[in-house]
Amino acid sequence: MKEFFKDKYRVNSIRLPHWDYSWEAFYYVTICIKDRVCCLGEVKDDKVYLSEIGEIVFKCWLEIPEHFDKAGLDDWIIMPNHLHGIIIIKDNDFGLKNCRDTTCHVSTERKFGYMQPKSLSSMIQAFKSSVKRECNKKDLAYFQWQPNYYEHIIRTEDDYARIKDYIVNNPINWEFDRNNPKNIK
């Protein structure tokens, strides 16, 4: 069944149905800058050199575990116009322990309810808000995030190894990256 907003627009969620994003798991996320503007830094000789905004993103990303006691950070990289990272939500009171199979969970009925505390979305929202607030303080108010973010629940060791490799090699592959403005048509 297709879902519509105001009987006009089809609305598809990119989130996995029947999964509570506060459950213990490894989450791969990509967060982009609005219109893919390259304001976080630049890649030179396969290395990323951060701008002032990139330094703010760096600082705020490292602070995520300080604000969310069940959060941990794994590999991550700040690119000129986006960030890739693995956020680990450790065992907490909201989910089942060590369950990676999406069929073992029953969805709650909060389709458009409150944001689940200690969830991936609350972490990303807090991170993005902190970066924006810091930019506003430093007369960098033009900075804007793209709405939403991409996420992927890491379920296997092979998936984990592939994503870690992708993150580490992202600066080396920047020339061919689909997020590189030179490659957008």
114-124 pLDDT tens trace: 456 689 999 99
Environment class of 73 (CB within 10 Å of its CB; exposed 0-12, middle 13-18, buried 19+): middle
CA distance 84 to 28: 7
Question: Residue 23: its pLDDT value, please?
Answer: 85
Tokens in use for 80? 């000129």
Q: What is the DSSP string of 80-145?
A: SSEEEEEEEE-S-TTS-TT---GGG----S-TTSPPPTTSHHHHHHHHHHHHHHHHHHTT-TT--B
Q: Over the stretch 157-179, which tens digit does the pLDDT of each residue have? A: 999 999 999 999 999 999 988 88
Whether the per-residue pLDDT at 130 is higher than 60: the answer is yes
Apex 75 CA angle, 130 and 148, nearest 5: 45
The full set of domain ranges for the chain reads 21-97+114-173
Residues 21-97+114-173: name the CATH superfamily.
Answer: Transposase IS200-like (3.30.70.1290)
- Picking from 26-40, 95-109, 134-148, which range would have the lowest pLDDT averaged per residue? 95-109
pLDDT 10s digits, 53-84: 999 999 999 999 999 989 999 999 999 999 99
For the segment 36-63, the average pLDDT, to the nearest whole number, is 97
